[in-house]
Amino acid sequence: MTAMLEMRNVSKSFAGVQALRDVNFTVEAGQIHALVGENGAGKSTLMKVLSGVYPAGSYEGSILFDGEERRFRYINDSEALGIIIIHQELALIPLMSIAENIFLSRAPSRFGVVDRNAVYRRTAELLAQVGLRESPDTLVTDLGVGKQQLVEIAKALSKKVRLLILDEPTASLNEADSAALLDRLLVFREQGIASILISHKLNEVARVADRITVLRDGRTVDSLDCRIEQVDEDRIIRSMVNRDLAHRFPERNVAIGNPVMTVENWSVYHPLHTARQVIKNVDFRVRRGEVVGIAGLMGAGRTEFAMSLFGRAWGYNISGRISLDGREANLASVPAAIHAGLAYVTEDRKQLGLILADDVRKNVTLASLRQVSDRGVIDDVVELKAASDYRSRMRIRCSDVYQEAGQLSGGNQQKVVLSKWLMTDPQVLLLDEPTRGIDVGAKYEIYCIINELAEAGKGVVVISSEMPELLGICDRICVMNDGAFVGEFAKDDATQEKIMRAIMRNVRMSGNGAHDSEVRAGDGAQ
Amino acid sequence: MTDKTVSLPETPKHSGFIKNNLRNYGMLLSLLAIMLFFEIVTDGTLLQPVNLTNLVLQNSYIVIMALGMLLVIVTGHIDLSVGSVAGFVGAVAAVLMVSYHVDYPTAFIVCLLIGAAIGAAQGYWVAYFKIPSFIVTLAGMLVFKGLALAVLQGRSVGPFPPTFQKLSSGFIPELFPSAGTLYPTSLLIGVVLAFALVLASAKSRAREQSHGIEVEPYAFFIAKSIALAGAVLYFTYLIASHRGLPNVLVIMTLLIALYGFVTRRTVIGRQIYAVGGNAKAAKLSGVKTERLTFFTFVNMGVLAALAGLVFAARLNTATPKAGLGFELDVIAACFIGGASAYGGVGRVGGAVVGAMIMGVMNNGMSILGIGIDYQQVIKGLVLLGAVCIDVYNQRR
């Protein structure tokens, strides 16, 4: 078989962060090629390079399609060749019908007037091909996510697809819908349509893929041909996580005290889809001087859990008990949570953490203006001293505290956000992806700050998708999946394989609602 | 706080300092340039005492509303209803005082409360129901324009009792009657004000310096102080040589000082800017974003009511057309003064200067005999130009 697509030595970096390094990736005609790897391994970036979201010239390396070198400048360029990408967040317009969505920009028309009959007829044909029994006039908003996914695929078929890229297509589907979708890929394979399947559900990957490429830290680390050797999940997991720890973690004197925050039977519903329970009656505990990690895939509910604890900043119909230092606390609002000694450092510092147009000083003092004011009047000098103090303590690199936060690098921005929360003198810190998108040096400094906080007797909760980071800094790691804790490991007991296995086992089982409890091993410090 | 030494920049960079401040004073310099231009082309009519007094009276209600509008714009919203609200409140005042003979202080307070209630009603939808302020206040604009008509039953109502007229057309009482043409009390107030301003800025500079904070170069400080004191003294001299300080100028000055202080120095002011800068981040930092948005609208309502009273007192009658189009001048004043349409950015001083630029242009072009048609064209182009310059500056 000849290669339909060949990506050669593709490298891509964002402002100093190397996202892809010399990636080689080949897809043959009529092949289902799975692309797996941890969050942030570079899967989505690679697909964006392929589809022209990142135009030719913004990356190094070359793309060959049908044996010719291609330089895609827009998504339209790759679509013209039949390379269609279906993103994780579906790009359908909810209040339009299926037919209108499929033929949004290319409706069959005569003199600019849409031929409604032709649209209806061809939509019906396409829906039959993907096995969706709905009227073309049905509004997309009335369909479930699984059926919406099929509409996306029908839309791809209408564009004469030759290479279909699916980014986590089954992430929000139940077992039956997932199976139907995967069967559809097998049918397409018979018709000569190749697919690239990005998925965390390794059992699905093992079932349908002809070839599996594993990305790690932006490199291709493995490419397994499933037609030659039998590939099982353990084999894939080993490739995904087996890496040398490139960066070190600072040492800390561990002195764990009494529980500072205890959460019992915590339940949270989605604010928009109010019937959906996002956090499912979980218990959680963090002690003074302890760093607790929460591992899990994107969408597992980790951010939602942390934000709901922080003064109910996210969620609907929240129930459960929070005790701080053994006393039950009612944290009904963000100010109440701050007052009670909680701090939440967001994963999205640009959207939720900083006021980018304001200077460093104003960002640092925003959550503790009372400390620098007297009867509502801010004392400029006291404020400036406080801000300058954090600037030197946290080694924030800026020209002065009057520099706009938006002009700082990611690592320094993160230190500004951390300063803001340290100034509130919290007892429990919820750190959501505290090192996302920052360079190795800044990461190390942030680990040092986390250690200092723990040594000062605070309780620190770290949510992270980088497993080595959790293994390096946490005393205990809880694994969350689908809104519930499905595993817990003490530092000495935890390995990447164990955590990944706990996640994957439950990814496979979620949808049935069953959760694995046998991995709830060795909570040593208890 | 730790005992570590605070590292502060020691070496002041003069060129950078002037460059930074040029941006802050850019609009002020534009105002001066525009005034100079009209002073020359009108052969000195612009700065004649009688015209200057007029200029103040003509623009007082715009400046008053611009203070409230600035806060609304800083939170990332807009209020299109202020003109109608001002007209409506003027109408209510006329009916209360002229038709029902309610005494002036009672009517005055009732009108301000009505303004607050209107602001609360609109702010409620914007802050808590998240309905775009553009739509809520567009509706308010229609509602209160209609209500003003209904209250007045389509007629003009007046004249007001003389004590109420004094709000706009009165001048502060003269304590030292003199035979000459100067009003010594007004002059004295001007001298005291100039002295107080210079003293206050010298004190704050000394305080900052003693804490090792970077301050403006000494020469720059002296030049700025002389310019400030000179401008205040010259202005009061001109005003004092006509009929003294108008009451409304005193009200306006106090309000500008109050809002300047609130926006720059208070926790509430800081939080209002945070809401406009990034509402989600502010909320996650414990700022009560909804409540602040609500109160900026209440505040706007009160100031619109005050402006309506000032305007009615100035015309000495309430007409159904009062307040027509005020919102445009008020919003333009804020944007010319450097407020950002995306929220989070804007200064009280800027809005006042913006209002003065509009006022001086109106006045100057009227003196020159330019028709209302081309006045509008020129004002529109100035608004666009000012915002373009601002956007260009931000990008640099």
Confidence bin at B73 (pLDDT 50/70/90): very high
Burial, B254: exposed, middle or buried (Cβ in 10 Å; 0-12, 13-18, 19+)?
Answer: exposed
Q: A470 Cβ partners below 8 Å, 6+ apart?
A: A293, A295, A462, A464, A477, A494, A499
What is the pLDDT averaged over residues B251-269?
94
Identity of the residue numbered A285: R
pLDDT at A513: 37
Give the DSSP per-residue string, A159-224: TT-SEEEEESTTTT--HHHHHHHHHHHHHHHHTT-EEEEE-S-HHHHHHH-SEEEEEETTEEEEEE
Facing B286 at nearest CB: one of A367, A388, A400: A367
Facing B281 at nearest CB: one of A354, A369, A400: A354
Contact B6 A362 (CB under 8 A): no
**CA of B115: how far to CAs of B84, B263, B294, B301, B305, in Å?**
11, 22, 14, 4, 5
Residues of chain B with Cβ-Cβ distance to A362 below 8 Å are 270, 273-274
Q: B146 pairs with which residues across the strands?
A: none
Q: For chain B, what percent of residues have pLDDT higher than 90?
A: 55
Contact A400 B280 (CB under 8 A): no
Cα B107 versus chain centre, distance: 24
CB neighbourhood size of A106 (10 A): 9
Can you state the angle between helices B82-94 and B104-128, rounded to 10 degrees? 150
Residues of chain A with Cβ-Cβ distance to B213 below 8 Å are 381, 384
Degrees to nearest 5, angle at CA A184 with A181 and A186: 120
Q: B122 Cβ partners below 8 Å, 6+ apart?
A: B79, B81, B133, B136, B137, B140, B297, B301
Q: Identify the contact set of chain A against chain B, taking CB-CB distances under 8 A.
A: 310, 313, 334-335, 338, 344, 346, 351-358, 362, 366-367, 369-370, 373, 376-378, 380-381, 384-386, 388-389, 391-393, 399-400, 420
What is the reported pTM? 0.78
Contact A356 B9 (CB under 8 A): no
Burial, A289: exposed, middle or buried (Cβ in 10 Å; 0-12, 13-18, 19+)?
Answer: buried
Confidence bin at B11 (pLDDT 50/70/90): very low
Instruction: Give me A344's structure tokens.
Output: 């939440």
Give the DSSP per-residue string, B166-191: HHHH-BPPPSS--SSS--HHHHHHHH
Cis? peptide before B173, omega within 30° of 0? no
pLDDT digits (tens, 9 = 90+) for B46-68: 888 889 888 888 899 999 999 99
Confidence bin at B2 (pLDDT 50/70/90): very low
Residues listed for chain B = 396
What is the pLDDT averaged over residues B174-203?
84
Identify each DSSP E strand in A205-345 by its residue range. 211-216, 219-225, 259-269, 277-287, 291-295, 316-324, 327-329, 342-345
Helix (H) or strand (E) holding A378: strand A377-378
Contact A366 B285 (CB under 8 A): yes
Contact B211 A384 (CB under 8 A): yes
Q: How many CB pairs under 8 A join A and B?
A: 96
Closest residue on chain B to A340 (Cα): B286
pLDDT at A53: 87
pLDDT digits (tens, 9 = 90+) for B290-330: 999 999 999 999 999 999 999 999 999 999 988 888 999 99
Facing B267 at nearest CB: one of A338, A369, A385: A369
Asked if residue B356 lies in contact with residue B59, where contact means CB atoms within 8 angstroms, the answer is yes
Helix (H) or strand (E) holding A9: strand A3-14
Facing B6 at nearest CB: one of A380, A388, A420: A388
Contact B9 A400 (CB under 8 A): yes
Confidence bin at B5 (pLDDT 50/70/90): very low
**CA of B323: how far to CAs of B62, B138, B145, B320, in Å?**
10, 15, 9, 9
pLDDT at A439: 67
Q: How far apart are CA B275 and CA B76, in angstroms?
A: 8
Closest residue on chain B to A310 (Cα): B284
Confidence bin at B16 (pLDDT 50/70/90): low
Residues of chain B with Cβ-Cβ distance to A353 below 8 Å are 281, 284
Q: A373 Cβ partners below 8 Å, 6+ apart?
A: A379, A383, B266, B267
Closest residue on chain A to B267 (Cα): A376
Closest residue on chain A to B344 (Cα): A357
Grouped pLDDT means (10 residues each) for chain A, 526 residues: 84 78 90 84 87 88 90 88 84 87 79 82 88 87 83 87 88 76 88 89 85 87 82 77 61 88 94 88 94 87 93 91 92 94 91 91 94 91 92 87 85 92 95 81 86 94 88 93 91 87 71 36 32
Closest CA of chain B from A396, distance in Å: 12
Q: How far apart are CA B362 and CA A43, in angstroms?
A: 61
Contact A334 B271 (CB under 8 A): no
**Closest among A5, A19, A4 to A60, alpha carbons compared:** A19
Asked if residue A40 lies in contact with residue A89, where contact means CB atoms within 8 angstroms, the answer is no
Beta pairing class for A459-463 and A83-86:
unpaired
A459: helix, strand or coil: strand
Degrees to nearest 5, angle at CA A522 with A519 and A526: 130
Q: Which of A83-92, A451-460, B186-195, B249-258 shows the lowest per-residue confidence on average (mean pLDDT)?
A: A83-92
* ipTM of predicted complex: 0.84
Contact B268 A351 (CB under 8 A): no
Compute, in degrees rounded to 10, the torsion defined by CA atoms B197, B202, B203, B207: 140
Q: A163 pairs with which residues across the strands?
A: A83, A194
Beta pairing class for A277-287 and A459-463:
unpaired
